[in-house]
Amino acid sequence: MKFEFEHIEYLTALAIIPALLFILTWVIRQKRQIAKQIGNPALVKQLTADHSPFNFFFKFCLILVALAAIIMGVVNMQKPGASVNVKRAGVDVVIALDVSKSMLADDIKPNRLEMARQLIYKLLDQLKDDRIGLVLFAGRSYLQMPLTTDHSAARIYVQNASPEVVPTQGTVVAEALKMSNSAFNSKERKYKSIILITDGEDHDAEALTLGASLAANGIMVNSVGIGSIEGAPIMDPATDSYKKDPQGQTVISRLNEELLKNLATTTNGVYLHLENIGDAVSKITAQLDTIEKSPIEDSAFRDYDTYYYWFLGLALLFLIIELLWPERKWKKVTVGTAILLFSFFTPAHAQPENNAINSGNKFYKDGKFDKAVESYQQALTQNPDNAIARYNLAAAQFRLNKFDEAEKTYAGATEKTGDNTLKHKATYNNGVSLTKQKKLIESITSYKSALKMDPADADTRFNLQKALEELHKQQKDSQPKQQPPQQQKKEQKKEQQQQPPATKKQIEQWMQSLRQKEQEVQQKMQQNKSRSVKQPEKDW
């Protein structure tokens, strides 16, 4: 691993060394002129009998070396460390959570949806080595979170899950399975599982036919049924009363166990009727352990081994030697001075690596993100231009769900660093922080910037596509009526003005990538069953 300089711009300060050598030459010349002005060479020789020109020059060289070492300490020579990269084996798990109105039934206290949340929280604690994705569904399905090792983000999405996040109500299990399937890597036929959590209100036969297709694709479906077979009325948040059908009768939502059992059996999964969360988690994790695991590498942030203290220690050593070194000619060296010099020449151990950044990294690895933030901020107080401290601070803020602060800090790290790899990661993570805040236009801009730095980054292309799709969906939902052609042109022109200019080659690359992703999703949908999504007959 090659060495790098954190603040390479400070190397220009080494130019002071030649300047000081020029001053030394001028001082020596001035001394000679003063000696000539005295006029009596014998007297001058007698007055300067104890003076040693060599010792004078040597002391000055010690100061120059100490100054150069201080400058190198400020530049901070470092090399990327590998200790923070965690390699592990896991599977890809997509949790498909039913958020239809029927999940508000209170036959399980406080209601079915809240019980499902508690189950997912416990599962996330047990699936630490797995990548997790989240699909929320009702009458339509939405990929809320692509596969990621960031389980804290999954908790946020689950916490906010409710019937309000899906405009079309109903319970269409088939569409949820299709959307979950599209989140997996189509080239692999293993390492994959869907955890379907629903009351199974859907009676669509297509969900059963999908089981064989999913099994052929190497996907295990573990289904969790919530609710009672006898059923319970549904509380409608809009009216704060029990929901009525078109005939005015109170709607009773019942658990459809037959559908969920068949899905699990067809795909070698397990079906559970959720009664005890602890038992359910144990059985699901035991079933997931039967799946072959894929190696996963996770690097939340970059850590560096720094060597500035070596240079500062060297500078201190030379300054002490310069202080003790006499300018007069050597006559004898006292025992005390010899011992003192020996003690400083004795190799010293490196200073403890308990600096602010390393302390923050340790807190981060232990999951103490609030303390990690304090340590990184302390490092930035000492050196506001430290890009590594700023990048790691943004990662810790992101873990604390402070996405607005993380966004600004990532942007600062991008400005402060000259490391292209770190700049790319900061730009990409800035886009993720913007996506968390629903700032889709800004996140798209950030992803495109990251893609310019590394066109081969698959994660950036994937997130860019998802952001574009989400932006398109929002625009489509907010425009229920077809706009006149002239108005469409105005809106397109306005949107283009908001986006940063891009070259023709870049636009072609992005469009080609999006078309390829779209074709993959369409192929998966064709394999399952090629038909348009119909409005469910029941909106619960």
Same-domain pairing of 380 and 495: yes
Asked whether residue 460 is assigned to any structural domain, the reply reads: yes
Asked whether residue 283 is assigned to any structural domain, the reply reads: yes
Same-domain pairing of 318 and 258: no
Cα distance between residue 281 and residue 333, in whole Å: 77
Asked whether residue 390 is assigned to any structural domain, the reply reads: yes
Same-domain pairing of 238 and 145: yes
What is the bridge-based pairing of β-strands 252-253 and 232-233? antiparallel
Same-domain pairing of 326 and 376: no
Q: Per-block average pLDDT, block size 10, for the chain (540 residues)?
A: 76 88 85 69 62 81 91 83 55 91 84 92 88 89 86 86 80 88 79 88 71 88 90 77 80 84 91 92 91 58 72 90 77 44 41 62 84 86 81 87 88 80 83 86 87 80 82 71 54 51 58 65 54 52
Asked whether residue 355 is assigned to any structural domain, the reply reads: no
Asked whether residue 521 is assigned to any structural domain, the reply reads: no
3-class SS letters over 93-158: EEEEEECCHHHHCCCCCCCHHHHHHHHHHHHHHHCCCCEEEEEEECCCEEEEEEEECCHHHHHHHH
Same-domain pairing of 467 and 322: no
Number of domains comprising the chain: 3
Asked whether residue 512 is assigned to any structural domain, the reply reads: no
Asked whether residue 246 is assigned to any structural domain, the reply reads: yes
3-class SS letters over 190-236: CCEEEEEEECCCCCCCHHHHHHHHHHHCCEEEEEEECCCCCCEECEE
Same-domain pairing of 44 and 155: no
Question: Which helix (H) or strand (E) covers residue 306, if one does?
Answer: strand 304-306
pLDDT for 340: 45
Same-domain pairing of 391 and 371: yes
Same-domain pairing of 430 and 455: yes
Same-domain pairing of 151 and 241: yes
Domain region containing 211: 86-298
Give the CATH number of the domain where residue 459 resides: 1.25.40.10
Same-domain pairing of 324 and 204: no
Give the CATH number of the domain where residue 275 resides: 3.40.50.410
Cβ within 8 Å of residue 173, ≥6 positions away:
137, 196, 198, 200, 202, 204, 207, 259, 263
Same-domain pairing of 286 and 385: no
Same-domain pairing of 45 and 128: no
Asked whether residue 225 is assigned to any structural domain, the reply reads: yes
Cα distance between residue 379 and residue 353, in whole Å: 13
